[in-house]
Amino acid sequence: GPPFPVFTRQEVARHHSEGDRVWVTYGSDVFDVTDFLELHPGGKSKILLAAGGALEPFWALYAMHKQEHVLELLQGYKVGELSPEEPPLPTPGDPYGGDPPRHPGLKVNTLKPFNAEPPSELLAENFLTPNPLFFKRNHLPVPTVDPATYRLYVQGIRGRALSLSLQDLKSKFPKHKVTATVQCAGNRRAEMNALRNTNRLGWNIGAISTACWSGVRLRDVLVHAGYKQGDDGHVSFEGLDKDQNGTVYGASIPFEKAMDPKGDVLLAYEMNGEELPRDHGFPLRVVVPGIVGARNVKWLARISVGPEESQSHWQQKDYKGFSPAVTWDNVDFSKAPAIQEMPVQSAITEPSPNALVPPGELTVKGYAWSGGGRGVIRVDVSLDGGKSWHEAKLTGEAQSPGRAWAWKLWQLKACVPPGTKELNIVCKAVDTSYNEQPDSVGPIWNILGVLNNAWHRVHVSVGE
């Protein structure tokens, strides 16, 4: 095609609002991203921060943009090139320089922020996921916290406030242990992306893990701050992780869940008997059993109670479910409730997709879980794409009815007759309310790519 027109940084800078079109630069290219504003997974306001200027300083913080699919998407909006006389940009310091080291076995989705899952075939090896392999879902850099000066701020009743040190938390409140599975709403998004790309993190089946958490009950801290059961509203949490504008991660849960003595909501300082690792919220995180991962706020700084849900981006404009009919042109975020309890879920961890399995005895393994404390009562497995079914054997810790916060692992030993060429392995779980999983992704696909709990399917070939 014809060469692109050449612009100076000053010319680009004039395009800094929707009225003047929104231009940005990346390297020496100029883009008009006005038509992308509403489609941006990170929100329109974030792009407006870079309007008229360079993306580099922002993408140093949100380096998940430096992926091929994002750069390709950006290329579609190219309108010009910077004039060659422009001085190069100073390289900003890396906001992720302070992130902790990680286990090399993790399957990395994005490095900055760090988003990674355990290899699928390891997921169901242990009922409790070892801390280094537990999936990690960060929206921002991991904050560095000095445990000696750390304080948890709790807004109390009638304008009072509590400021609690780690020592206060450990000495003033009884220590509780809860074994709970944490699952991200985006778990298994890759299967949704394969159908129709959502342009968001392509999690495989590993954005789910289980730990034994210990800490204090949120309920006990709220009672100490003057609240009582029967009050209502929402409990909002804020993290210590923030972007360059000081925006912190935040989320909320219903007050009723927070105060329910059988809700088991924890402020955890230990994970599987070890000090809470930095990636998982050191020194303190919220664990909300039965509820979507997004509300389990890490690096907890502040708790407040009020009539409104958290106003954060992640409560209002993300982690909500929509009809497949909803598009970025007609989405109304105020119409859908924030995800709290999750639907019944299961996946096959072994064999791996496209593996070659020998005829004879075959072991199929996986996990199954449901939200809201609903236990998994059954897992059905098919080897022929859903025509005939077998019941898998379930294992896991016994948990009280209505408080089945942890997953079940399952196994099926089957015999593959000689002459079989391929298997279409499928699994689906059933929870205590007899909820079952939908058979395919199409009818539950949504623009945010959340809540994928379709039957999990693994195709393998049979041979020596």
Say how many Å lie between the first and final Cα of the chain, rounded.
Answer: 52
Residue 197's contacts (CB-CB under 8 Å, 6 or more residues apart) are 69
- Cβ 375 vs Cβ 368: under 8 Å: no
- The distance of closest approach from Cβ of residue 64 to ligand HEM in the complex, given in angstroms and rounded to an integer, is 5
- The distance of closest approach from Cβ of residue 441 to ligand MTE in the complex, given in angstroms and rounded to an integer, is 20
Looking at 128-217, list the stretches that DSSP marks H as alpha helix, in order from N- to C-terminal side. 166-172, 189-195
- Cβ 365 vs Cβ 411: under 8 Å: yes
Residue 167's contacts (CB-CB under 8 Å, 6 or more residues apart) are none
Nearer to ligand MTE, 94 or 361 (CB): 94
- Cβ 94 vs Cβ 59: under 8 Å: no
- The distance of closest approach from Cβ of residue 2 to ligand MTE in the complex, given in angstroms and rounded to an integer, is 44
Could you say which of 15, 65, 112, 136 contacts ligand MTE (CB under 6 A)?
Answer: 136
218 contributes a contact to ligand HEM by CB under 6 A: no
Choose the one of ligand MTE, ligand HEM, none that binds residue 24, judging by a C-beta under 5 to 8 angstroms depending on kind.
ligand HEM
Nearer to ligand HEM, 136 or 365 (CB): 136
444 contributes a contact to ligand HEM by CB under 6 A: no
**Listed residue (184, 249, 264) closest to 217, CA to CA:** 264
**Listed residue (38, 369, 304) closest to 161, CA to CA:** 304
Could you say which of 13, 73, 190, 414 contacts ligand HEM (CB under 6 A)?
Answer: 73
Please list the residues that pair with 268 across neighbouring strands: 215, 285
Handedness of CA 371, 375, 377, 380 (dihedral sign): positive
Choose the one of ligand MTE, ligand HEM, none that binds residue 136, judging by a C-beta under 5 to 8 angstroms depending on kind.
ligand MTE
293 contributes a contact to ligand MTE by CB under 6 A: yes
50 contributes a contact to ligand HEM by CB under 6 A: yes
Residue 158's contacts (CB-CB under 8 Å, 6 or more residues apart) are 226
452 contributes a contact to ligand MTE by CB under 6 A: no
- The distance of closest approach from Cβ of residue 359 to ligand MTE in the complex, given in angstroms and rounded to an integer, is 39
Choose the one of ligand MTE, ligand HEM, none that binds residue 73, judging by a C-beta under 5 to 8 angstroms depending on kind.
ligand HEM
364 contributes a contact to ligand MTE by CB under 6 A: no
Stretch that binds ligand HEM, among 3-11, 43-51, 265-273, 397-405 (CB under 6 A): 43-51
Q: Which residues are marked as active site? A: 40, 65, 137, 184, 319
